[in-house]
Structures are given as C-alpha cells and as structure tokens.
Amino acid sequence: MTESSNGASYARMNFTKRASGLLSFTARAFSVNRDAKKARYFNGVQSVTSNKSQAANLQNILPVDLSVTPPSPEKVVKPSKLKSFTYKELSVATREFHADSLLGEGGFGCVHKGWVDKNTFAAAEWGTGLAVAVKKFSQNSMQGHQEWSTEIKYLGALCHPNLVKLIGYCLEGEHRLIVYEFMPQGSLEKHIYRRDPSCQPLSWNLRISVALDVAKGLAYLHSPEVNVIFRDLKTSNIVIDSNYKAKLTDFGMARDGPENESTHVSTRVMGTYGYLSPEYMATGHLTMKNDVYIFGVVLLEMLTGRKAFDRTLPTKEQDLVSWATPNLTSKHRISHVMDANIKGQYTTRAALTLSSLALKCLSVDPKSRPDTKEVVKALEQLQEQEKLGKHHM
C-alpha cells in the first residue's frame, strides 16, 4: 500500500472520529442527492432545508451558509451576451413546466426540458427548434438565490468546450431561472449508477475520455487567467452531450481562487459528503487542490461503479476512498474493486495506471497532489496508449 493510500484513509477516519456527530448529520442532510428521483439530471447543490425556521436551527449545526440575503435585481451582473428571458417565455418553452418535461430535481429547484427558436431563442413549439435545459430555482431557498447569481457570474463569463454553455436567464420578481444547452446523455451519475434504465454503462475507453474532458475543464478553471475553484465536482455535475463529450455544470458554489500572496480562500465548508478533502473539512481553507482531491474521488467512482458515500452498504464500505484505496496498488486485488460492468475491457496495467493517478489526487498533503495540467497530461498519455494497444496483460 502506498503512503498516499494509507494517508487518505487515515485522515478521513481520523476526522470522522473527531467530528462524528457533525459528519453523520452532514451525510444524512446531503444524501438527498443520492435519491434517484431527485438526481436524474442537473443536480444543484443539495440544500438541507427549504424553510427559513429550519435554516435558523441548522445554522449552528451544519457549516453551510444558509443565511443568505437574495441579491436585488440591480446588484446582479447580467452579461449582455446572454438572452434575458421572461418568465412567460420559459413557461411556454417548457409547457408550463409540465411534469413530462421534468429532467431532475435538486435542493434548490428543478430542471425542465424546453424548446426555443435556434436564432431568436424565443419559445418554440414543443419538439421543434433548439432543446434547452431550464433550471428553476426554488423561491423559498435563500441559498438558491445566491447560487443563481453565482452561476450567472461564472458561466456568463467563461467559455470552454468542457463547460456547459449558458444561454440565458430569467430575473423577474421572485423568479430565478437559468437556461443551459441541453445535454442529451444526462449526467455521469446516470451512467455510472444506472439511475435511468435507458442509460447504458460507459465503456472503459469512454470513462477515460470523460475523465480527460473533466480534467480539461478543471485545468481551464485553474489557469492563472481564470483562477476559479469549482468546489462542487461530483458525478451529478458532470453532463454528457450526444457525442459523449463531458462538461462541467452547476457553478453555484464556485469561488474565485486565492490572489496575490494568499495561499487559500477561507470559507464555510460546503459540498457533498464523500467528496470533500480532509483539509477543507477540517479548516475551511479552499485551494485548487481541493478540486484535484474531488477529481480523485470521481475517478474512483468511475473505476469501481460505487458512490462516493453510500449509507446502504456495511459501515466499513460506506466511504469509497477508505474502502477502495487499500486495493488500488495491487495487481492481485484491484480486480476485486473494479466495476463489473467494464470487466474484460481493460488490462490490469491500465487499471493500475488510472488508480495510481487517483491515489495521487487523493494524497493527504495537498502539495503532493498533481495540478490539473499534470492530470490532463497523464490521462492523455493513458488514452493514447489504450488506442495504440501498448498495454498487455
């Protein structure tokens, strides 16, 4: 077993012992994103409450900023290149937000499929024009208002092949909506955990391709010119288009990276349990290396077909990192944790190569983790080797 795998397991177990009550609550609170009915497509960050009185009670328990004042219209930055929709237009585009158009639900609202004109973006007849995904934020979610504004701030300004395209928004009264490009293959979560019977498991080669796409998206965000920490990477926030190109979505928790001489951003701990890095959970210090750690967790999910945290499993197997890491460096044991859906599609050497990258990303010491450019390079090399058939049993 490598030092990184030992360290990753130890750090997570040690933190759990010191904060078992909090983490137990967090796991229950954020488990809503594991509900198949509520996580079929674009999952927003999982809210633990939709009631102001509940928010007040939870403020002293959960390290999540629930006391957010909704931004006023005049304070919201609205990029001119985005389409400003009226609520009526989006109601027409989604057939009055009909249940048949529902793509998924999350803590801060729901996502519906809609149709707009390809040129003008005006509401179109159902099934004609351009398909879009319309994210409707809950009006009684305080944090939802903040996330709406944050998504527009980042996705309205950023452009990259591996970031979902933001088409427009609606800011009308209490209504807060965002319109994205429609991603026909839905989320990575659907394909890994088969939440939708119509979704086929991703092949080994497609998993490498998706991982590379995600790494490229993160590398763009982490570049000095952009300097953004995504913070909420998870399988439900990775969406796939008709050509199986993966893109990052849901920027509601993104933050500007540290500037000048700063080494980190201090913030309340927010996110989904199972994906949070040990140092971020313990200190609230946020760096680009937190995204790298989470990427390591996502790699494990794609390797094993298991969730980052699964309360339905025996206690010792619930936390994916703790369960999987002891088996990832042995050619004799790695097959025991690999997803059965890709059996026979990979060589042991290729599996060990990808698991080794995951372990590096999961290093307890953030400084020991690779940066996202290095991750991209490693995945490109693995993909090229797989194409050339250089690996042998």
Answer whether residue 276 shows pLDDT above 80.
Answer: yes
User: Residue 108's pLDDT is what?
Assistant: 76
Answer whether residue 140 shows pLDDT above 80.
Answer: no
Spatial CB neighbours of 1, under 8 Å, sequence gap ≥ 6: 325, 326, 329
Mean pLDDT of 24-44: 34
**Of residues 27, 2, 8, 22, the one with CA closest to residue 322:** 8
Q: Is 190 annotated as a binding residue?
A: no
Calpha distance 387→383 (Å, rounded):
6
Q: Strand locations in the chain, DSSP E? A: 83-84, 102-106, 109-116, 130-137, 166-172, 175-181, 228-229, 238-240, 246-248, 255-256, 265-266, 285-286
| Active site (annotated) includes residue 232 | yes
User: What are 208-246's pLDDT values in tens digits?
Assistant: 999 999 999 999 999 999 999 999 999 999 999 999 999
Answer whether residue 141 shows pLDDT above 80.
Answer: no
Residue 5's Cα: distance from chain center in Å?
23
The residue among 10 and 304 whose pLDDT is bigger is 304
Answer whether residue 261 shows pLDDT above 90.
Answer: no
User: What are 292-302's pLDDT values in tens digits?
Assistant: 999 999 999 99
Calpha distance 393→373 (Å, rounded):
29
Pick the catalytic residue from 100, 117, 232, 250: 232
Mean pLDDT of 328-332: 89
Calpha distance 55→61 (Å, rounded):
10
Answer whether residue 127 shows pLDDT above 50.
Answer: yes
Mean pLDDT of 109-135: 94
- Kindly state the tokens that stand for 135: 């994210």
DSSP lists the bridge partners of residue 172 as 175
Spatial CB neighbours of 351, under 8 Å, sequence gap ≥ 6: 303, 334, 335, 338
Calpha distance 11→177 (Å, rounded):
39
User: Residue 20's pLDDT is what?
Assistant: 36
Angle at 212 between CA 211 and CA 217, to 5 degrees: 100
Phi, psi of 157 (to 5 degrees): -110, -25
**Of residues 186, 240, 161, 146, the one with CA closest to residue 40:** 186
User: Residue 390's pLDDT is what?
Assistant: 53
**Of residues 138, 159, 144, the one with CA closest to residue 82:** 159
Helix/strand/coil for 176:
strand
What sign for the dihedral angle of Cα 82, 83, 84, 87?
A: negative
User: Residue 36's pLDDT is what?
Assistant: 35
Q: Picking from 54-58, 167-171, 317-321, 340-344, which range would have the lowest pLDDT averaged per residue?
A: 54-58
Half-sphere exposure (Cβ direction) of 150: Cα atoms closer than 13 Å: 23
